[in-house]
Structure 1
Amino acid sequence: MTVSPSAPPTVRLSSVSLTLKGPAGAVNILRDVDLEIPQGAAVGLVGPSGAGKSSLLMVAAGLQRPSAGSVTVAGQDLGLLDEDALARFRRDHVGVVFQGFHLIPTMTAEENVAVPLEFAGRKDAFDVARAQLDAVGLGHRMGHYPGQLSGGEQQRVALARAFAPGPRLLLADEPTGNLDGETGALVMDLLFRLHDEQNTTLMLITHDQALAGRCDRVIRIQDGAITDNRATRDAAA
C-alpha cells in the first residue's frame, strides 16, 4: 500500500459527536471524536460490541449525520451536501462491505457488480464488472445468481462490487462474520490485495486482533470515544 501522509487525509473527523433519542432519553453514541486517516492507509477499528464502531463507519460514509462536529471525506465536507448529493458522493467515492452480502438475488454476479456503475452512467459498466470478478477469482461464475454461490463466493462478489467504481474510501464492517475461518482468510487476503492495488483508504471493523494487526494503525473505541490510536508495530507493546 502507498500511504501519502503529506497529502490531505482521505478522512477527517473533527469533534464529531452522535446523540440519538432512545426510550430512556438521549444516548451518546459517539463522543467528541477526532480522527484523520491518510490517503492509502488501512486502519483497524476494534472495541467491544456497542462501543460505536459501526456508527463511526456510518458517519464516515455519510449514512448518518453527526449531532455535532464535521466530517470531511476525499476533500468534501459532507455536512454541506443534501441527501441526493450525499448519495451521488457515496456512489463515486465510497465502497462498503458488510457482514451480510446484500446481493440482489434476482441478478447474476455480473449484474450485481455492474449495478452501481450503471447508476453512475458508466457505458463500460459490464466490462468493469467482468474485470473485477476476474480479479476476485470469479470469472467462471459471472452468470450465476447469489443462491447458486457459496457464502465465500457471495462475499467476493460484494468485494468486486465495492471496488468496481474505484472508491477513495472502503468501509468494511466485520466482512468475514458470516464465513468460516478458512474462507474468511481468503476473502481478507483479497480485500487487502485490492486495497493495495487500488491505493484505497480502508476502515475495517473487526474483533480479530490478528486481522487488525494487518492494518497500518489500530484504533480502539470504547463508549463512543477513541481510547487508543497507534501504529500496528506498537499495538502489541
Structure 2
Amino acid sequence: MTDPVLSLTDARLALDGNAGRVEILHGISLDVARGETLGLVGPSGSGKSSLLMLMGGLERATGGRIAALGQDLTAMDEDALARFRRDHMGVVFQSFHLIPTMTALENVATPLELAGVKDAFERAEAELEAVGLGHRAGHYPSQMSGGEQQRVALARASVTRPEILLADEPTGNLDETNGAAIVDMLFGLRDRHGATLILVTHAPELASRCDRVIRLRDGRLEDSAVDRTEAAE
C-alpha cells in the first residue's frame, strides 16, 4: 500500500479508572488506503469505538504512533488536532450530537462557519438536499425523528468534503428502515466526495458493504481481514 490515508503503528490506549489503569488497546498496527471502506467489528467492549476515536484524534494514544494524511496526530496538541479534524475529517456518532438550539441548516453550516467559509449556508442547504431534508432546514432537532436527526448529522459530517469520514455505530439508534436508509446515504456521501470511510458496526449488512473488515477482541486485532458475510456479531 502506498501513501495510506491512515497509518497506526503499535498504537496503544490505557485509561485510569477507579480500579486502576485499564489497557484498552494493545499495540494496534494498521494501514488504511485512500478511498477504502473499512469496517471495525467485534464484541461489545473489544475496543472498536476506542480505535475509531484514536484515528480521529478524539482520544490520545498512550503509546505508538498514528499518522493521518502524512501528519503525526500523536505529536499534535489539542488545538492542532481540532483544526486537523475541522479541515480533513467528518465524524458521525450513534448519538446524533446536534446542537438543540440550532436549526438543521445551522447545525450543518456550523463546521463551515468555523472554517471561515463564505458560502457556508448555501453549501449546508445543498448538503441537506442531498440527504433528502431540504424541506426540514428550518426545523430544530426536537422537531425531527431519529432518522431525520441522523441524516442531519451525516450532512454536517460531509459538508466540509472531508478526506476521512468516521462513523461510530451510525445506525445503532435507528429502526431497520431508517438504518437501511442511513447506510445508503453514508456510502452515497462517500462516493460523492471520494472520502475514505471507516465505521464501527454490529450490523452484518453494513459490514458486508465494506471493502475490508477488521475484527477486534480484547483490544487486539483478531484478523487483518475477515469474511464480510460473517463480520458482525
Same fold by TM-score, threshold 0.5 exceeded?
yes
Answering whether residue 67 of structure 2 is matched by residue 61 of structure 1, we say no
1:149 deviation in Å?
1.1
Which has the higher mean CA deviation after the structures are superposed, 144-153 or 211-220? 144-153
Give the Cα–Cα distance (whole angstroms) in 1 for the partners of residues 17 and 102 of structure 2.
38
Q: Deviations over 1:34-59 (max 9, x none)?
A: 01000110111000111111110111
> Contact 1:12–1:35 at 8 Å: present in 2 too?
yes
- Candidates 112, 123, 131, aligned match of 1:136: 131
Give the Cα–Cα distance (whole angstroms) in 2 for the partners of residues 21 and 233 of structure 1.
35
Match of 2:24 in 1: 29
Q: Deviations over 1:88-144 (max 9, x none)?
A: 101111111011111111111110000010001110110110110011011111111
Give the Cα–Cα distance (whole angstroms) in 2 for the partners of residues 122 and 73 of structure 1.
23
Gaps of 5+ in 1: none
Match of 1:228 in 2: 223
Match of 2:77 in 1: 82
Q: Deviations over 1:179-205 (max 9, x none)?
A: 100111001100011111211111111
Quickly say closer, same or farther: Cα 1:102–1:132, change in 2 above 3 A: same
Computed over aligned residues only, the root mean square deviation of the Cα atoms, in angstroms, reads 1.4
> Contact 1:17–1:30 at 8 Å: present in 2 too?
yes
Answering whether residue 187 of structure 2 is matched by residue 192 of structure 1, we say yes
Give the Cα–Cα distance (whole angstroms) in 1 for the partners of residues 54 and 90 of structure 2.
14
Pairs aligned (count):
231
- Candidates 135, 142, 146, aligned match of 1:147: 142
- Candidates 121, 139, 142, aligned match of 2:116: 121
1:24 deviation in Å?
2.2
> Contact 2:14–2:21 at 8 Å: present in 1 too?
yes
Give the Cα–Cα distance (whole angstroms) in 1 for the partners of residues 207 and 218 of structure 2.
19
- Candidates 161, 166, 172, aligned match of 2:161: 166
Equivalent residue of 2:148, what SS?
helix
Which 4+ residue blocks in structure 1 deviate beyond 3 angstroms? Answer: 231-236
- The one-letter code sitting in structure 2 at the alignment partner of 1:230 is A
- The one-letter code sitting in structure 2 at the alignment partner of 1:85 is A
- Candidates 79, 85, 102, aligned match of 1:107: 102
1:155 deviation in Å?
0.4
Match of 1:175 in 2: 170
Quickly say closer, same or farther: Cα 1:146–1:233, change in 2 above 3 A: closer
Q: Deviations over 1:141-174 (max 9, x none)?
A: 1111111111111100000000001111111111
Give the Cα–Cα distance (whole angstroms) in 1 for the partners of residues 111 and 42 of structure 2.
32
Q: Deviations over 1:197-223 (max 9, x none)?
A: 211111111111221010000100001
1:28 deviation in Å?
0.9
Instruction: Provide TM-score, normalisation by structure 1.
Output: 0.94
Match of 2:196 in 1: 201
- The one-letter code sitting in structure 1 at the alignment partner of 2:140 is Y
Give the Cα–Cα distance (whole angstroms) in 2 for the partners of residues 145 and 138 of structure 1.
12
Q: Calculate percent identity across the aligned residue pairs.
A: 60
